[in-house]
A and B are shown apart, each in its own frame.
Chain A
Amino acid sequence: MDFNLSSDLVEMKKSIRDFVDNTVDPVADQIEREDKIPDHIMKMSKEIGLFGLSIPEKYGGLGIDMVGKCGIYEEIGRTSNGFTTVIGAHTGIGSVGIVEMGNEEQKRKYLPGMASGDLIGAFALTEPSAGSNAVALKTRAVRKGDKYILNGSKHYITNGPIADIFTVMAVTDPSKGAKGITSFIVEKGSKGLIIGKTEEKMGLRGSHSSEIFFEDCEVPVENVLGVEGLGYVNALKILANGRAGLAARNLGSCQKLYELSVKYAHEREQFGKPIFEQQVIQHYLAEIALDVETLRSVTYRVAWMVDQGINVIKEAAMAKLLGSEIYNRIADKAVQIHGGIGYIKEYPIERYYRDARITKIYEGTSEIQKNIIAAQIHKEYLKTVPTVHA
C-alpha cells in the first residue's frame, strides 16, 4: 500500500490551491453578491486547464487519472461552491459522456473546444416529473430522415444558461421503458432548443441552472451519443463516474471549514479565554477532523480503484453519500462554533452551509445512493448462493 500522491500531482495540487486560495477565494463574496463568476476568474481557470480536467491529452485536456482528478477537485472545492460547480458540472457530467461514449468524430469535433473552455458542457436528464426516477422521462425524440425531432422539457440543468453542448437523454421508444432512452449531443443554437428561465436557488450562487425546452428541436442522427436505446445506461455511467469527483469537491469544502473553525476557535474569546479551551468546542473540532480524514480516505481509495479498472458502483455511491452527509454535518458544526457570525453573510461560513445542502440531492439523492448500495449488496449475496435460489 502506498498512500503517497505522485510528486507531479502534489505540485499540481499546490499550484491550484495557490490559485484557489489567493485568486478565487478573495472574490468569493463578490460571486455571492453578483451571482456571477468574474470574467478574469473564468479566463484564468481556462488558462490553467481546469476545464479540460476530464479530457484526454490527445484532445487538449489534462489527461490525468481519477486520483489526479480528485486531487484537483479537492482544491477547487475549497472556495465558492458556485465556482466549483460551474467547473465541476462541465468537467464531470457535462463532458464525460462524450469522452466515454462518443465516437472518434464526435470527440474530435467537441472535446478540444471543451478542454479549452471555449465550449461549456451541460447534462440534461432531470425533468419536472422525473428526478430520481430517470425512467419516467417524457422528452421524446422521433427519427425523421437524417434527423431526430426532440420535444419536451428539462429543468434544474446546471450550466444551462451558459452551455454550448448539452448531453440530453430522450425517449426514442416509449414501449421499451429504460431501454427506450437514447442520449444525444445537442448544440446551443439548434433549431427548437430554448433556454428557459434561470432558477433561483438557495445556494451555489455564480452557478446557474435553468429550464430547457425542446420544441421540434432538430438534432442530426450523427449526434446520437453511443448506441440508440442505451441512453439510460449511459446516464447511469456518466453519473457513476462523477461520484468520486463529487466526494472530492465536498472534501475540499470540508477541509476549508475545518481550517476556518480551528482558527476561529483559537481567536474568539468568551469567558476570558479562547473558546477552543471549552471541551465541547474541542470535541466538535475532533469530530470534524475525524470526518474530514474519513472522507479523504474513502474518496482517494475509490479514485484509486477506478484507476485500477475495478468496478466501483457500490464504493462510488458510498463516497457520494458519505461526502454529502459529512459536508452537511461539518457545515452545521462550523456555524455552531462560529455562533451569530456564522449566520451572517459577511462571513463565509453561512455560504458553505447553504451550498452544502444540495449535495445530498443532486446527481442522485442520498436515498438513491442507498438504493444503489443495497442493489449491489444483493447482487454480491446472490453470487454466494447456489443459482437455484437466485
Chain B
Amino acid sequence: MKESAVLNNQKVQTSIFTDEHVMFRDSLRKFLEKEAVPFFDQWEADRIIPRSFWEKMGEKGFICPWVSEEYGGLGTDFAFSAILGEELARVGAGLTGIGTHSNIIVPYIASFGTEEQKRKYLPGCVSGEIITAIAMTEPGAGSDLASIRTTAIKDGDHYVINGQKTFITNGIHSDLIIVACKTDPKASPPHKGVSLLLVERDTLGFSRGRKLNKVGMHSQDTAELIFENARVPVSNLLGEEGKGFSYLMTKLQQERLIASLNALVAAEDMLQLTIQYVKEREAFGRSISKFQNTQFKIAEMATEVQIGRTFVNDLIAKHINSEDIVTQVSMAKWWITDMAKRVATECMQLHGGYGYMEEYKIARRYRDIPVTSIFAGSNEIMKVIISKQLGL
C-alpha cells in the first residue's frame, strides 16, 4: 500500500532497529491488540487502567526491559524503550503512565539509586508490581521548578516532608514516588536546595488528593499528592542532597524525546484514521477524498508527519549513542507537539460532525493532544532553552 511511506515508518528504520527490535515490537503489538485494545474504551470510562494490566505487561517482560538482568530486566538499549513508548501511544495516550514509569521514572532509580535501593525496588518495577510516579509540579511551581515549596527537613535519621504536589501521573496507582523537595529551603541559588526523596505508598503523613479530571488522557490516573509531616528514613534519599535539580535536568532529554515520539505516533494514527475516513465518506455524490481541499490538507499533514518522523528517528539514534542533543530535543518537543495539534484540528475537521462524537476515535485523540504542548516542559520553555543554547 502507498500509505506505507507515512504510516509504517518504524519498519523502514533498519539503521536503528535490528531483528530483535522488530520481534519485540511484533510481540508487544500482538499483546496490546489482545490485552489492551478491546478494553481501552472501558478504561477510559473508568478513568483508570487496572493494575492487573500492569502485571500482565510485566510478566511478558514489556516493562522496563532496559533494566539490567541482575535486577530482573533484559538489559536492552533505548530503542526498546522507544518501541514500548510508541506501541503504547498507538493504542491511546491514556497508556502513557506505563511508558512514563518505564522510560522516565525508573531510570532515576537505576542512575542515582544506591545498590540497596536498586535491589529493593527495581525487580518490582520490572514485574509491574511496583508502580512509580515522579512528583515535581506544585500548584505554585510549574515551569519554574526551582521555586517548589515542598520541604524535607532532616530530623535525626529521617526527613520530614511537608507540601503539596499536583498533576502527578500515576498519582493514584503509585507505590513508590520520587518527590522533588527542598532539603535546604534557603539555598542560593534556590535550585541548589532541591533533593529527590523516595516515598513509599504507606508512609505515614502521605496521602493522595483528588484524582484530577482532565480534558483528555482519561484512563491515565493523574492526582494531587499531599505530605503532612511525612517521615521517610534518610536512606531514602536518591543520590546526593542538593543535586536533585541537576538530576532532573539530565533526565529531561529522554523525557522530552519520548514526549515528542508519543505526539508523533498520535499524529500518525490520526492521519491514518482520517485517510480511511475520507475514502469512505461521500458528499456531493463522490468520496470526499476526491476534493482537492481534502487531498491538499492530507498531503500537507503527511509531509509534516514525515518530517517529524525523520527528525525523531534521527534523535533516537543519537540518544542511543549518548550524544548531547538537548537543543534538538527541545526543538523536536515544541515543533512536533504543535504539529500534532494542527493535525488533530485538521483531521477532526475532515471528519465533520462525526468527528465531534465520542464514538469516533478522532474525538479522543483531539482531547488527548493539547496537553502535549504543556507537559514535559511547556513549549515556551523549550524555546527558552533553544535560545539560550544559541547564546541569546
Task: State whether the Cβ of B137 lies closer than 8 Å to any Cβ in chain A.
Answer: yes
Q: How far is the CA of A136 from the CA of B283 in the complex (A)?
A: 8
List B293-335 residues whose CB lies under 8 Å from chain A. Answer: 293
User: Which residues, 352 to 392 on B, are CB-close (under 8 Å) to A?
Assistant: 352-353, 355-359, 363, 366-367, 370-371, 373-375, 378-380, 383
Contacts of A129 on B, CB cut-off 8 Å?
282
Using CB atoms, name the residue of chain B closest to A371.
B293
- Asked if residues B144 and A357 are in contact (CB atoms below 8 Å), the reply is no
- Residues on B with beta carbons closer than 8 Å to the beta carbon of A339: 142-143, 374, 378
A240 and B144 alpha carbons, distance in the complex (Å): 49
For window 206-264 of chain B, which residues contact chain A by CB distance below 8 Å? Answer: 212-216
**Interface check B101, CB cutoff 8 A:** no
Contact assessment for B147 and A340 in the assembled complex, using a CB-CB cutoff below 8 Å: no
Residues of the B chain whose Cβ atoms lie less than 8 Å from the Cβ of A344? 167, 212-215
Report A134 CB to chain B, min CB distance, Å: 10
Given contacts A156-B353, A332-B341, A361-B356, is CB(A350)–CB(B144) below 8 Å?
Answer: no
**Bound Cα distance A379, B347 (Å):** 31
B349 within 8 A of A: yes
CB–CB B214/A201 < 8 A: no
Q: Taking A131-B283, A270-B144, A367-B293 as contacts, is the C-beta distance between A353 and B353 under 8 angstroms?
A: no
Q: Is the CB of B370 within 8 A of A367?
A: no
Nearest opposing residue in chain A for B355, CB measure = A361
Query: What count of chain A residues pass the 8 Å CB interface test?
Result: 41
Contact A336–B374 (Cβ < 8 Å): yes
Measured between C-beta atoms, what is the minimum distance from A75 to chain B in Å?
25
B50 sits at the interface (CB 8 A): no
Q: A270-B142, A336-B374 are in contact. Are A202 and B363 (CB under 8 A)?
A: yes
| A window 182-208: CB within 8 A of B | 199-203
- Asked if B353 and A131 make an inter-chain contact with CB atoms under 8 angstroms apart, the answer reads yes
A360 at the binding interface (Cβ < 8 Å): yes
Are B358 and A131 in contact, with the CB atoms below 8 A?
Answer: no
Residue of A nearest to B146 (CB): A271
A342 at the interface (CB under 8 A from B): yes
0 or 1 for each of B133-177: is its CB under 8 Å from A? (1 = yes): 000010011111001000000000000000000110000000000
- Give the residues in chain B near A360, CB-CB below 8 Å: 349
B residues adjacent to A (C-beta < 8 A): 137, 140-144, 147, 166-167, 212-216, 282-285, 293, 341, 345, 348-349, 352-353, 355-359, 363, 366-367, 370-371, 373-375, 378-380, 383
Chain A residues near B (Cβ < 8 Å)? 126, 129, 131-133, 135-136, 156, 199-203, 269-272, 278, 280, 328, 332, 335-336, 339-340, 342-346, 350, 353-354, 357-358, 360-362, 365-367
6 A-B contact pairs sorted by A residue (CB < 8 Å):
A133-B283, A133-B284, A135-B284, A202-B358, A272-B147, A361-B349
